[in-house]
Structure 1
């Protein structure tokens, strides 16, 4: 089990990104949160296996209108008591 903080840049706001992230995380069983940032990027903390996290990102990218141009990714400590995936 790992947890990553990911900052997404590109066409990521106003295109259903956060909804897709929550839906994808729910489908694969990952937990965490996602939120829009004031600079037009989107931040996400997601916890699960490496494969689950990769699947969530692929599912987000497959959506219409979303175009991820770059990502900043760092590993952060897990939160063992977290349940579900929230839009902030």
Structure 2
């Protein structure tokens, strides 16, 4: 029985990031045949987009959190990943 990777849309950010790191490691290793390299690159791009969407959603949630004591928005705080 072969391992089936979970659909990217169902992956957590952390799982998708680990999968993306694995794709990059395999591509950088240079031992993957051309056709598999192309498939890996395509999967890596989908994983990258998924991770970016999850980060964008997190940033949006953080910006919505900023409110005054009365619960009314006081503005937004920039997302600082650093």
Normalised-by-shorter TM-score class: under 0.3
Larger RCO (CA under 8 A, 6+ residues apart): 1
Kindly name which structure, 1 or 2, has the bigger radius of gyration based on alpha carbons: 2
TM-score by length of 1: 0.26
User: Which has the larger helix fraction?
Assistant: 2
